[in-house]
Structure 1
Amino acid sequence: MTTAVTRRPTVSARITTPNTPTTRNTPNTPAPVPAPGGVFTATVYMNTHDDNFGGYQPHHPLAAATRPDGSPLRLVFHTSTRIRTHEAAADAAYAVGNRQGADDHGRTWPSDIRSVSVGDVIKVTGPDHWILHLSVDPTGFSAVPEPTHLTALTGTRATSRR
């Protein structure tokens, strides 16, 4: 014997336009489209707290990585098939900060600053002018509020805590 079951009607739609391609892994989610000539900039804030490898905490003091003249070191990444999101730009900045290449302007990580590590924060400004602060985690990044405890990098430039 069969029993009739009333099922609520469902509607699904997939809307794509030439400007919003979809990704293969998630066909219903539009992939971000990089702005033509768009640029991501990344500034790394080094965690100077004694327990920085335990991860970033809002009370930890941070110091911006700087050039020898004291100006902030800003890494630049142009939008591409590889750099399409704030997280991808942070990942590229992490690679440069670990002396694995250069940014899109040829800047490499200064030899007198320790490498980027867990507990540091990367500020990424996208071509859409959105600013995200991402803490470096053991596996990836986490969005955090804008840090408020900023200090100078003096004494930390040449210090390696590894």
Structure 2
Amino acid sequence: MTTHVQRPAAVTARIDTPDNAPAPAAYTATVYMNTARHSFDGYQPHHPLAEATRPDGSPLCLVFHASDRTRGHETAAEAAFEVGNRQGPDDNGQSWPADVRSISVGDVIKVTGPDHWIIHLSVDSTGFSTVPEPTNLTGLVGTRATSRR
């Protein structure tokens, strides 16, 4: 003799996966190339700057995840400087475009932190200096526009 056993109703549960996990805290860096003649003495507010771009002409935005290595705006700027001098990629695997010159003294790096603070740092011969937000932006540096230095 067999008896009929009814199974309990199915239960649905939400399981977090990497697809819906929160993104790690990150710093983003945008580089503005100084296009003034003789700008290697350092950035001055009246110097024209052009935003570095990817080969397709879109803005180049470097990403560095907050970690023991990158734990502040200045260390994010240092990481951007390394990428901009072709010393490796950012934390998303993005390398510095071949058609954009290396980052050098007189350029400005805009860093946005996971805390949403934005700081602009000029590249100095030794380190960085905080500068006001640049107002003399002249265009893009990359495939669609080039720097005259």
TM-score relative to the length of structure 1 = 0.73
Please list the CA deviations of residues 115-160 of structure 1 after superposition, one character each: whole Å capped at 9, or x if unmatched.
Answer: 000000000000000000000000000000000000123232xx6x
The runs of 5 or more residues in structure 1 that have no matched partner are 1-35
Larger radius of gyration: 2
1:53 correspondence with 2:40: yes
Higher normalized contact order (CA 8 Å, seq sep 6+, divided by chain length): 2
CA distance in 1, matches of 2:130, 2:25: 22
For 1:60, the aligned partner's letter is H
Corresponding residue to 1:118 among 75, 97, 105: 105
CA distance in 2, matches of 1:38, 1:108: 20
For 1:88, the aligned partner's letter is T
Question: Which residue does 2:128 correspond to in 1?
Answer: 141
User: How far is 1:96 from its partner?
Assistant: 0.2
1:42 correspondence with 2:29: yes
User: How far is 1:95 from its partner?
Assistant: 0.2
For 2:91, the aligned partner's letter is D
For 1:96, the aligned partner's letter is V
* Runs of 4+ deviating beyond 2 Å: none
For 1:74, the aligned partner's letter is C
For 2:42, the aligned partner's letter is G
Corresponding residue to 1:85 among 66, 72, 87: 72
Computed over aligned residues only, the root mean square deviation of the Cα atoms, in angstroms, reads 1.2
Corresponding residue to 1:150 among 137, 143, 146: 137
Identity of counterpart residues, as a percentage? Answer: 70
TM-score relative to the length of structure 2 = 0.80
For 2:69, the aligned partner's letter is R
Q: Number of aligned pairs?
A: 123
CA distance in 2, matches of 1:109, 1:155: 15
User: How far is 1:69 from its partner?
Assistant: 2.0
CA contact 2:55–2:99 (8 Å) conserved in 1: no
User: How far is 1:37 from its partner?
Assistant: 2.2
For 1:124, the aligned partner's letter is V
Question: Which residue does 2:8 correspond to in 1?
Answer: none
CA distance in 1, matches of 2:24, 2:112: 14
CA distance in 1, matches of 2:128, 2:80: 12
For 2:89, the aligned partner's letter is A
Question: Which residue does 1:98 correspond to in 2?
Answer: 85
